[in-house]
Structure 1
Amino acid sequence: MKITVIGGTGLIGSQLVSALRALGHEVVPASPSTGVDLLTGAGLDEALADADTVVNVSNSPTFDEASPEFFRTTMNNLLAAGERAGVGHQVILSIVGVDQVPQLDYYRAKTLQEDILKQGPTPYSIVRATQFFEFMDAVLSWTADENTVRLPSTPVQPMAAADVVAALAAAATGAPLGGTVDVAGPDVFALDELGRLTLSARQDPRTVVTDEQAGLFAAVEGDVLTGGPGARLAPTSYKDWLGAKR
């Protein structure tokens, strides 16, 4: 099978390219560094030539009000190029609970991306994943100073990027779902608890202060960012992942 990975040089995309090649597939990584511009469409026809499946793990450069237009333009460009190339399966990476947080610009943008894909001409699969372990450093940095990190108690169920890759590889090499699959880590944490666990593992002396107004995830109500009863649970626990990183 020939598979094109859009965003194929990033955190998830580069690992996905390697995983699919290890399974014996012909894989084309596509990104600005390989001459592909999703916003203008430049290089797309060449990157998608003879592809059976396209996996889109590209991301908006910002998380603000500009992100909906990014996903609108890039998804439309990719679907049009895919139709020209005769692509039989379009796969995107999205976020668990994304349609339940309309107050966040970025989540509205990802929901828009999903909607455009669903209305498009090509059979599709949507893989919704929870937050990545690898993003915890960024989450901590948003509301930190020298002595404290302020975090809300929002429930989260994070997972390893490698497990996200495995879910994407399974979707890309399988039949189109015509729908969505949720994947999540094995454990649910309050975000402030997760922050304390992270700092303790790293022997970071800063204190986590519970602040329900702090950071991006303060806008999230309830447990919509957790996998729920229908989610497929990934094998890697956060504590094991932290231990391996040490």
Structure 2
Amino acid sequence: MKFAVIGGTGLIGSRVVTKLNAAGHEAVPHGHSTGIDVSSGRGLDEAVAGADVLVNLTNSPTFDEASLAFFQTSMDNLLAAADRGGVRHFVILSIVGVDQVPELDYYRAKALQEDILRAGPIPYSIVRATQFMEFVDAVMAMTADGDTVRLPATPVQPIAADDVAQAVADVAAGTPLTGIRDVAGPEVFPLDELGRITLSHRSDGRTVVTDPTAGMFAAVKGDVLTDRNAHLAPTRYADWLS
């Protein structure tokens, strides 16, 4: 099969392209560097021409309220191009619990992206993943102050980017789900404890202080970012750190 992977040069997209090609498919990465623009629609018809499957892994340049407009416009443009091009399967990557955190603009925007795909004309699949292991440093950086990192005890179930990419590639190569597949890491941690584990492994002398008001994950109530019934990926956090 032929795949057009939009956002195919990023953290997940580049891995998806590699995995699909290794499986004997033809996966072509597309992004700004190849001349496409999902917001204006430039180059999309050419990118999806002849593709059986469109995998959309693009992301908003911001995580604030402007992300809503990005996903609305980009999905409208991609769905129109895919429909014109005869694409038979449209896949996106979303977030476990995305519809349970309306307090976060970015999560509302990703939920909107899912709704637009469901209402579109093309058979679809949604892969929802838990928080990426690769983003733990960025999460800590948002609330770091000198020798202290403040984090809430929000439960998270970190998953390695390579495992996410494998899940996306598997779904993309299969029959459209007309629904959602949740994928998650094999372990659940309080976010503050995950920070301590990370700093300890790296012999980083900073201290993690539990603060229920710190950072974007302070808005998350309960354990909605975890899913013990999801398809569990194999990579454990300690192994990933090593």
TM range (shorter): over 0.9
Q: What secondary structure sits across from 1:61 in the alignment?
A: coil
- Once the two structures are superposed, the pairs formed by residues 130-149 of structure 1 within 5 Å of their partners are 130-149=130-149
Q: Which runs of 5+ in 2 are unaligned?
A: none
Q: TM-score, normalised by structure 1?
A: 0.98
2:108 maps to which residue? 108
- Once the two structures are superposed, the pairs formed by residues 114-193 of structure 1 within 5 Å of their partners are 114-193=114-193
Q: What secondary structure sits across from 2:192 in the alignment?
A: helix
Q: TM-score, normalised by structure 2?
A: 0.99
| Residue 228 of structure 1: how far off its partner (Å) | 3.3
Q: Distance in 1 between matches of 2:131 and 2:123?
A: 26
Q: Distance in 1 between matches of 2:80 and 2:232?
A: 34
- Once the two structures are superposed, the pairs formed by residues 205-244 of structure 1 within 5 Å of their partners are 205-229=205-229, 231-243=230-242
AA at the equivalent of 2:27: V
Matched, 1:66 2:72: no
Aligned length: 242
- Let me know the Cα RMSD of the aligned residues: 0.5
Alignment deviations for residues 139-185 of structure 1 (CA, whole Å, 9 cap, x no partner) = 01000022100000000001000000010010010000000010000
Alignment deviations for residues 81-116 of structure 1 (CA, whole Å, 9 cap, x no partner) = 000000000000000000000000000000000000
Q: Distance in 1 between matches of 2:5 and 2:89?
A: 12
Q: Which runs of 5+ in 1 are unaligned?
A: none
1:94 maps to which residue? 94
AA at the equivalent of 2:236: S
Query: Runs of 4 or more off by more than 3 Å in structure 1?
Result: none
Q: Distance in 2 between matches of 1:201 and 1:56?
A: 35
Q: Distance in 2 between matches of 1:200 and 1:210?
A: 16
| Residue 227 of structure 1: how far off its partner (Å) | 1.5
Matched, 1:6 2:16: no
Matched, 1:22 2:22: yes
Q: Distance in 2 between matches of 1:171 and 1:58?
A: 17
